[in-house]
């Protein structure tokens, strides 16, 4: 299918005159990125369907609020007895009780990014990306996953609490780092997206093939070490999510 899409892009590009080599590369690259995004979307929704729980569908919507299967995910939540808002951002309208200033909000975003929870910007505005990052941070600390900070939670982040490591996650779940990553159920397309994310950040995975070999493990460990995390070479859910975005 990828070959078909790339071929179609090539034909369309060559029919327009003139087309520079760089322009053609941009067209093909754009098609490839679109296909990868769609595959990640499909894989995430398939995982939600397999779990068939309210939390599973909510997790899909947090990753893809306007995804290909957003409507089906909301229908699944309502079918299971949950409440699904029609808005694109599941956390829109949630109020913070933390009373943070703009500078403090920027600091919170920077700390979340340093911990491996991507906020999609550090501008002091808590948009959809920051809400998702907060929710993932809350989930990994067994807080209620609201996407909105309490005063105590905001202070915990502002104090620069050390990131939750894979070993502490293993203590909570009874799993070692390798087993905890395996429990995430990452598909081949998701693993390829993670490898692409590492490569973009300057960590060589020795290929983007959707298989986590020694090159990928070394790249993960280097990325973890550079970001103040325990360098296990295995990913937590928050770390995988950060690298895929």
Q: Residue 195: is its pLDDT beyond 90?
A: yes
Nearest alpha carbon to residue 198 among 168, 233, 237: 233
Q: What is the mean pLDDT of the chain?
A: 75
Highest mean pLDDT among 62-71, 163-172, 219-228: 219-228
Q: What's the confidence (pLDDT) of residue 219?
A: 93
Q: Which residue has the higher pLDDT, 18 or 183?
A: 183
DSSP code at position 28: H
Residues 81-132 have pLDDT tens digits of: 766 554 444 444 445 545 788 888 888 888 887 777 788 888 888 888 888 8
d(CA 185, CA 243): 16
d(CA 219, CA 213): 10
User: Domain residue spans in the chain?
Assistant: 2-79, 102-158, 175-239
Placement of tokens 């951002």 in the chain? 89
Q: Which residue has the higher pLDDT, 179 or 240?
A: 240
Q: What is the pTM of this model?
A: 0.36
Q: Which residue has the higher pLDDT, 49 or 92?
A: 49
């Amino acid at each position: 299918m990828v070959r078909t899409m790339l071929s179609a892009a090539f034909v369309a590009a060559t029919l327009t005159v003139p087309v520079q080599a760089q322009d053609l590369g941009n067209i093909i690259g754009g098609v490839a990125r679109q296909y990868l995004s769609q595959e990640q979307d499909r894989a995430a929704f398939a995982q939600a369907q397999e779990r068939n729980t309210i939390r599973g569908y909510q997790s899909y919507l947090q990753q893809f609020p306007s995804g290909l299967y957003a409507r089906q995910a909301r229908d699944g939540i309502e079918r299971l007895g949950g409440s699904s808002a029609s808005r694109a951002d599941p956390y829109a309208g949630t109020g913070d009780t933390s009373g943070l200033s703009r500078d403090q909000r920027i600091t919170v975003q920077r700390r979340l990014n340093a911990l491996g929870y991507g906020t999609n910007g550090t501008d002091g505005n808590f948009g959809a990306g920051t809400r998702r990052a907060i929710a993932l941070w809350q989930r990994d600390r067994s807080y209620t996953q609201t996407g909105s900070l309490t005063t105590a939670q905001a202070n915990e982040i502002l104090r620069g609490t050390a990131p939750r490591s894979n070993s502490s996650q293993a203590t909570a779940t009874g799993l070692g780092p390798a087993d905890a990553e395996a429990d995430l159920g990452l598909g081949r397309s998701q693993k390829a997206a993670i490898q692409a994310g590492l490569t973009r950040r300057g960590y060589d995975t020795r290929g983007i093939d959707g298989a986590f070999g020694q090159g990928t493990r070394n790249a993960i460990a280097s990325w973890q070490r550079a970001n103040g995390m325990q360098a296990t070479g295995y990913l937590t859910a928050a770390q995988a999510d950060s690298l895929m975005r």
